[in-house]
Chains A and B, each alone.
Chain A
């Protein structure tokens, strides 16, 4: 269908200017980064021993975090989406609590995680005293920090998708003999799948770029907790060119992964 065929769908002209400015704001910094990137030095910077371990760590932890977000976030979204029967204040409070990490400065989020899971934290202290387990300064801490900041994206996305699922489909499933679990697994969840996929992609992207909570809660040790954003930030101190190079790698990898995932998921849904 060509654009001429559907004039009613055309965007009002008045929106074009702010839209263009929006694009400029989104794309401009990336373009500047790419133009200023020391392309010639890129191979040597990549081979420098900092970038590749950080890249591997970032991709691995972000993938695990996105998976954790799905495992924890989908049930949470289901509960929230079914919360219509709750009193309004409880519903509002629940939703506000879930979205808190979105408004919390990530560094503060990192401190909060330390207060909970650190060696002298509410849960961390008994863990340490009882089992000798410490969470900060471990790769697990990176994953926890990333999941913490990524979860709201998934929950909000999935909750919206669940609300979009036609209640009549669930009614039909019930009348066809499906209990609550079967209705969820075979009707509601498949119908909300695009929302789950989009939420997981967003959570992955957020995890990949996570810096503040990670540096505060997990620290920075090459190959263990030093993710690509942390490496980029540290490089900025001594070698801005290297920092730009690392950022370029981060941008290219993120774009590549997001485009690839999107494509695959969209195909999966359409097929």
Chain B
């Protein structure tokens, strides 16, 4: 698995249209930034297979995931893509352990083996003591970390993180950021991090893509964007 992403995404949702190009090198982390309603989550949905493209193409490691012109559409459950959602991050009726084991079982592991592997993954992330807990009893940070482990357990080529820190108290964010950085460092695939907080981009990403009104307004390393923001929207987003 490597995670080289080459996507041109055109999706229409009612009056709103997204038309964005997105590339990620293998092992790279791209921060997808923008104001509310800029189209960030729509891009994530298209990459995950939850919103089919109207036009364009998604290539991951040279494999076509969505190409309306060629009539190719790989459904979400068959894409090597992981997604950590901002809300409803975990299944409320399953323990943390069974949440992590869920994606291992769909990958073909038997129940016992899946739970064993899930327990080990939680342990490695220092979350072993949460294994039996229900999501309702976890803090925001714990929830986000378990959700991240759940997605990584399937060893996806591409990991999508949709505002993973948004549901966490400001005081808990630095710690969670560090924890996510640790996980991403050990992750071989590429990642797209959706955020409106430049501190997340600083800590986790090596490239930034700024969306506005469904279109890419600027892309490049964070330092370059900071040095020469394309417009006031970019400038305001990148203010720490």
Contact = CB atoms under 8 A, between A and B. Distances in A.
A190 B98 CA distance: 14
Interface in B92-113: 92-93, 102-103, 106-107
Secondary structure at the A interface, as helix, strand, loop or mixed, is: helix
- Report, as a range, how many residues of chain A touch the other chain: 10 to 19
A7 interface: no
A166 B107 CA distance: 23
B77 interface: yes
B87 A168 contact: yes
Q: Give the most central of B49, B93, B151: most A CB within 10 Å.
A: B93
A103 B225 CA distance: 66
Nearest to A190: B93
Contact of A176 (B75, B92, B102): B102
A166 B102 contact: no
B150 interface: yes
Contact of B92 (A177, A178, A191): A191
Interface residues of B, number: 26
A117 B61 CA distance: 60
Contact of A169 (B75, B76, B91, B107): B91
A40 to B, nearest CB: 51
Contacts of B87: 168
Interface in A172-195: 172-179, 182, 186-187, 190-191, 193
A173 B150 CA distance: 11
B93 A175 contact: no
A177 B106 contact: yes
B172 interface: no
B93 to A, nearest CB: 5
Interface of A: 166, 168-169, 171-179, 182, 186-187, 190-191, 193
